[in-house]
Amino acid sequence: MYIKICGLQTADTVAAAVDAGADAIGFIFSPRSPRTITAELAAELGRKVPVGVETVGVFRNQPMDEVLDMARKAAVTTVQLHGDESLADMASVHAAGFKALRAFSADAYNNLSRDEKRDWESERILLDAVEPGAGFTFDAAVLTDGTPNGFWLLAGGLNPANVAAAASAMKPTGVDVSSGVESSRGIKDEQLIRDFILAAQTDS
Protein backbone atom coordinates (compact mmCIF):
# COMPACT_ATOMS: atom_id res chain seq x y z
CA MET A 1 0.00 0.00 0.00
CA TYR A 2 1.50 3.29 -1.18
CA ILE A 3 0.90 5.98 1.47
CA LYS A 4 1.05 9.74 0.93
CA ILE A 5 0.77 12.24 3.78
CA CYS A 6 -0.10 15.66 2.38
CA GLY A 7 -0.09 19.23 3.62
CA LEU A 8 2.98 18.99 5.88
CA GLN A 9 4.51 22.21 7.18
CA THR A 10 7.01 21.32 9.91
CA ALA A 11 10.15 19.26 10.35
CA ASP A 12 8.54 17.23 13.15
CA THR A 13 5.56 16.14 11.05
CA VAL A 14 7.79 15.33 8.08
CA ALA A 15 9.97 13.19 10.36
CA ALA A 16 6.90 11.45 11.83
CA ALA A 17 5.62 10.56 8.37
CA VAL A 18 8.98 9.35 7.06
CA ASP A 19 9.84 7.38 10.19
CA ALA A 20 6.43 5.67 10.16
CA GLY A 21 6.91 4.50 6.59
CA ALA A 22 5.22 7.03 4.28
CA ASP A 23 6.06 6.61 0.59
CA ALA A 24 5.43 10.29 -0.18
CA ILE A 25 4.96 13.58 1.61
CA GLY A 26 3.09 16.48 0.12
CA PHE A 27 3.64 20.22 0.27
CA ILE A 28 0.76 22.53 -0.70
CA PHE A 29 1.55 25.45 -3.00
CA SER A 30 -2.03 26.19 -3.98
CA PRO A 31 -3.12 29.67 -2.79
CA ARG A 32 -5.78 30.04 -0.11
CA SER A 33 -5.19 26.69 1.55
CA PRO A 34 -4.46 26.79 5.30
CA ARG A 35 -1.68 24.29 4.53
CA THR A 36 0.15 26.38 1.93
CA ILE A 37 3.90 26.84 2.43
CA THR A 38 6.65 28.60 0.52
CA ALA A 39 8.98 26.90 -1.92
CA GLU A 40 11.89 27.83 0.35
CA LEU A 41 10.38 26.09 3.38
CA ALA A 42 9.51 23.04 1.29
CA ALA A 43 13.09 22.82 0.07
CA GLU A 44 14.35 23.02 3.64
CA LEU A 45 11.95 20.31 4.81
CA GLY A 46 12.68 18.16 1.78
CA ARG A 47 16.36 18.01 2.59
CA LYS A 48 15.42 15.89 5.61
CA VAL A 49 13.61 13.32 3.45
CA PRO A 50 15.57 10.20 2.44
CA VAL A 51 16.02 9.12 -1.16
CA GLY A 52 13.16 6.86 -2.13
CA VAL A 53 10.44 8.92 -0.45
CA GLU A 54 8.68 11.19 -2.93
CA THR A 55 8.34 14.87 -2.15
CA VAL A 56 5.23 16.16 -3.87
CA GLY A 57 4.34 19.75 -4.69
CA VAL A 58 0.58 20.23 -4.97
CA PHE A 59 -0.78 22.89 -7.32
CA ARG A 60 -4.29 23.83 -8.38
CA ASN A 61 -5.09 25.68 -11.62
CA GLN A 62 -1.87 27.69 -11.56
CA PRO A 63 0.07 28.72 -14.71
CA MET A 64 2.38 25.92 -15.76
CA ASP A 65 5.45 28.13 -15.91
CA GLU A 66 4.74 29.17 -12.31
CA VAL A 67 4.19 25.53 -11.30
CA LEU A 68 7.47 24.33 -12.77
CA ASP A 69 9.45 27.28 -11.44
CA MET A 70 8.13 26.76 -7.91
CA ALA A 71 8.67 22.99 -8.13
CA ARG A 72 12.32 23.60 -9.05
CA LYS A 73 12.78 26.07 -6.20
CA ALA A 74 11.15 23.64 -3.76
CA ALA A 75 13.32 20.78 -5.10
CA VAL A 76 10.37 18.37 -5.07
CA THR A 77 10.52 15.12 -7.00
CA THR A 78 6.88 15.14 -8.04
CA VAL A 79 4.28 17.63 -9.24
CA GLN A 80 0.62 17.01 -8.39
CA LEU A 81 -1.90 18.91 -10.47
CA HIS A 82 -5.22 19.30 -8.71
CA GLY A 83 -7.38 21.37 -11.00
CA ASP A 84 -8.42 21.38 -14.66
CA GLU A 85 -5.00 20.54 -16.07
CA SER A 86 -4.71 18.53 -19.27
CA LEU A 87 -2.61 15.64 -20.51
CA ALA A 88 -0.50 18.25 -22.28
CA ASP A 89 0.20 19.86 -18.90
CA MET A 90 1.24 16.47 -17.55
CA ALA A 91 3.58 16.08 -20.51
CA SER A 92 5.15 19.43 -19.59
CA VAL A 93 5.72 18.17 -16.05
CA HIS A 94 7.41 15.02 -17.31
CA ALA A 95 9.50 16.97 -19.82
CA ALA A 96 10.76 19.18 -16.99
CA GLY A 97 12.10 16.10 -15.21
CA PHE A 98 9.43 15.61 -12.54
CA LYS A 99 7.23 12.68 -11.70
CA ALA A 100 3.55 13.59 -12.02
CA LEU A 101 0.24 12.94 -10.31
CA ARG A 102 -3.14 14.19 -11.50
CA ALA A 103 -5.92 14.61 -8.95
CA PHE A 104 -9.59 14.50 -9.88
CA SER A 105 -12.67 14.86 -7.76
CA ALA A 106 -14.62 11.62 -7.95
CA ASP A 107 -17.40 13.46 -9.78
CA ALA A 108 -15.04 15.01 -12.33
CA TYR A 109 -13.41 11.66 -13.04
CA ASN A 110 -16.79 9.97 -13.38
CA ASN A 111 -17.88 12.62 -15.91
CA LEU A 112 -14.98 11.79 -18.24
CA SER A 113 -15.85 9.69 -21.25
CA ARG A 114 -14.52 6.15 -21.37
CA ASP A 115 -12.05 7.22 -24.05
CA GLU A 116 -10.83 10.07 -21.83
CA LYS A 117 -10.41 7.68 -18.93
CA ARG A 118 -8.34 5.38 -21.12
CA ASP A 119 -6.21 8.34 -22.17
CA TRP A 120 -5.46 9.04 -18.50
CA GLU A 121 -4.52 5.43 -17.69
CA SER A 122 -0.86 6.07 -18.51
CA GLU A 123 -0.70 8.68 -15.74
CA ARG A 124 -0.87 8.28 -11.98
CA ILE A 125 -4.28 9.40 -10.74
CA LEU A 126 -5.68 10.52 -7.38
CA LEU A 127 -9.41 10.45 -6.73
CA ASP A 128 -10.63 12.89 -4.12
CA ALA A 129 -13.91 14.14 -2.74
CA VAL A 130 -15.59 17.15 -4.34
CA GLU A 131 -13.97 19.58 -1.90
CA PRO A 132 -10.33 18.51 -1.42
CA GLY A 133 -8.93 18.89 2.06
CA ALA A 134 -12.35 19.28 3.65
CA GLY A 135 -12.40 15.83 5.21
CA PHE A 136 -15.35 14.39 3.30
CA THR A 137 -15.44 10.93 1.74
CA PHE A 138 -17.08 10.11 -1.56
CA ASP A 139 -19.42 7.27 -2.44
CA ALA A 140 -17.75 4.66 -4.63
CA ALA A 141 -21.10 4.21 -6.37
CA VAL A 142 -20.53 7.46 -8.27
CA LEU A 143 -17.78 5.70 -10.27
CA THR A 144 -20.11 4.17 -12.83
CA ASP A 145 -17.25 2.69 -14.87
CA GLY A 146 -15.43 1.47 -11.79
CA THR A 147 -12.11 2.59 -10.34
CA PRO A 148 -9.21 3.62 -12.59
CA ASN A 149 -6.93 1.12 -14.22
CA GLY A 150 -3.27 1.50 -13.35
CA PHE A 151 -1.79 3.45 -10.43
CA TRP A 152 -4.36 5.41 -8.46
CA LEU A 153 -4.64 6.87 -4.98
CA LEU A 154 -7.77 7.09 -2.86
CA ALA A 155 -8.24 10.36 -0.98
CA GLY A 156 -11.03 12.33 0.65
CA GLY A 157 -12.17 11.94 4.23
CA LEU A 158 -9.71 9.21 5.16
CA ASN A 159 -8.47 8.96 8.74
CA PRO A 160 -6.87 6.32 11.00
CA ALA A 161 -10.27 4.83 11.84
CA ASN A 162 -11.58 4.30 8.30
CA VAL A 163 -8.58 3.95 5.97
CA ALA A 164 -8.19 0.18 6.25
CA ALA A 165 -11.85 -0.48 5.46
CA ALA A 166 -11.90 2.04 2.60
CA ALA A 167 -8.77 0.59 1.05
CA SER A 168 -10.08 -2.95 1.42
CA ALA A 169 -13.35 -2.01 -0.28
CA MET A 170 -11.97 0.05 -3.19
CA LYS A 171 -8.58 -1.61 -3.77
CA PRO A 172 -6.55 1.50 -4.68
CA THR A 173 -2.82 1.37 -5.32
CA GLY A 174 -2.45 3.66 -2.34
CA VAL A 175 -4.04 6.25 -0.10
CA ASP A 176 -3.58 9.96 0.50
CA VAL A 177 -4.50 11.92 3.62
CA SER A 178 -4.35 15.52 4.79
CA SER A 179 -7.15 16.74 7.07
CA GLY A 180 -7.65 13.25 8.53
CA VAL A 181 -4.38 13.51 10.44
CA GLU A 182 -4.94 16.99 11.85
CA SER A 183 -5.72 18.06 15.40
CA SER A 184 -7.32 21.23 14.00
CA ARG A 185 -7.73 22.64 10.51
CA GLY A 186 -4.30 22.86 8.89
CA ILE A 187 -2.41 21.59 11.97
CA LYS A 188 -0.95 18.10 11.59
CA ASP A 189 -0.77 15.72 14.55
CA GLU A 190 2.30 13.47 14.68
CA GLN A 191 0.52 10.62 16.45
CA LEU A 192 -2.39 10.69 14.02
CA ILE A 193 0.11 10.46 11.16
CA ARG A 194 1.67 7.38 12.74
CA ASP A 195 -1.75 5.86 13.44
CA PHE A 196 -2.89 6.45 9.86
CA ILE A 197 0.18 4.84 8.32
CA LEU A 198 -0.07 1.83 10.62
CA ALA A 199 -3.76 1.40 9.79
CA ALA A 200 -3.13 1.71 6.05
CA GLN A 201 -0.29 -0.79 6.21
CA THR A 202 -2.59 -3.23 8.01
CA ASP A 203 -4.59 -3.57 4.80
CA SER A 204 -1.48 -4.02 2.61
Catalytic residue status for 107: no
Q: Which of 128, 139, 176, 189 is catalytic?
A: 128
Residue 169 neighbours by CB under 8 Å, 6+ apart: 140
Q: Which of 6, 69, 189, 203 is catalytic?
A: 6
Closest by CA position to 29, among listed 68, 84, 85:
68
What secondary structure does DSSP assign to 138-182, as a single string? Answer: --GGG-TT-SPSSSEEE-SS--TTTHHHHHHHH--SEEEESGGGE
* Measured CA angle at 24 (ends 164, 6), to 5 deg: 75
Three-state SS at 43: helix
Catalytic residue status for 19: no
Closest by CA position to 10, among listed 189, 196, 177:
189
Q: Active-site residue numbers?
A: 6, 128
